[in-house]
Structure 1
Amino acid sequence: MSKAFTKETDNDDEGDEIRLPPLPAGGKNYITPQGFATLRHELKTLIDVTRPKMVEAVHWAASNGDRSENADYHYGKKRLREIDRRIRFLIKRLEIAEVTDPSLHFGNTQVFFGATVTYADGQGELRTVRIMGIDEANSAQGEVSWVSPIARTLLKAEEGDVLKLVMPDRVDEIEVIKVSYPSPDGDGVQHDQS
């Protein structure tokens, strides 16, 4: 029999294996109020400004005669399909969005959605990430999606906790150094809570 069809039972210590924490149940699409407003603004702009301009451009290109070799017409139709696809995507994402205000946890030292977390990696280097929604996280700004491996490892941890971060090629031990949230006064600034 081929090895591909045999069940491996040599490793009965499956409980000792280190794995990523399970994905949160329920399939929620957590998002900050700012992220929700940004997506809603993009949707409104696409519907009220971008799409009407493109429809006008396609109409103009179509009025120029033979459509079979009309590059403006073909590009416009393609762009219109892309805009419509993005509109449908945004509508679906906003329908399932669960707006969660991180400032509700201001002063808390436990990691929840919206937290800015400073942790020390296995080499002792300090790293800071902000746990954000899937549709709003920007890695260039140090933001990570709440379903990313680092966020899933950090969620519900507290300052001082030592955790195991599972990566594709290794397991790294990290320590939570500091947890902060935006202040409820709405200035968006992460105030020091110590």
Structure 2
Amino acid sequence: MEKQYGFFIDSSRCTGCKTCMIACKDYNDLPTEINYRRVYEFAGGEWTQDGNAWRQEVFAYYSSIACNHCADPACTQVCPTGAMAKHAENGLVIVNEDLCIGCKSCAMACPYGAPQYDAVKKHMTKCDGCQSRVSAGQKPVCVEACPLRALDFGPIDELRAEHGTLAAVAPLPEESYTQPSIVIKPNRKARPVGDRSGFLANPMEV
């Protein structure tokens, strides 16, 4: 592999507007039930009484997540036909639709729920990092659509050098599982992986 590409997610800027989701759905002509990019809302906290007054200690923040084009992707390991594979030039995980038999093994293995079954096409689909755009020197459509520039894309080594190496906050899984090619700038209210003080506030959307 020549170079591993990945996403930078600035959770301190993200307002949960979902423009990235809409742009992705439009660009890929996705049906209602399939979302390659999803915005997770993690919320929690409580109100506490202070004498005759009440003090709020609540929080909420957003993380825009798609396929993380992991360095050690679970989906490629379980695919029986080799339909899930990493692109040699940029490390993006791509589905070969001619080889995919729609067994859903990849969907069950991926801790991020990135591979999704298309009932019309009868095979798995997923974010390919806008492979055609990247090959043409452009950024993925979700990155260019974000109004607050909370997303970026490029060689993961360069993103880590600029923004650090954090790749997981609640409610995402431990990064050690698949070594995701993402860098997260946490919201100031961000909670660590496994946090029990908050909850996923929009489970029906993700």
Range of TM-score over shorter length = under 0.3
Normalized per residue, the structure richer in strand is 2
Structure with larger Rg? 1
Using CA pairs below 8 Å that are at least 6 residues apart, which structure has the higher relative contact order?
2
Give the TM-score, by structure 2 length. 0.27
Give the TM-score, by structure 1 length. 0.28
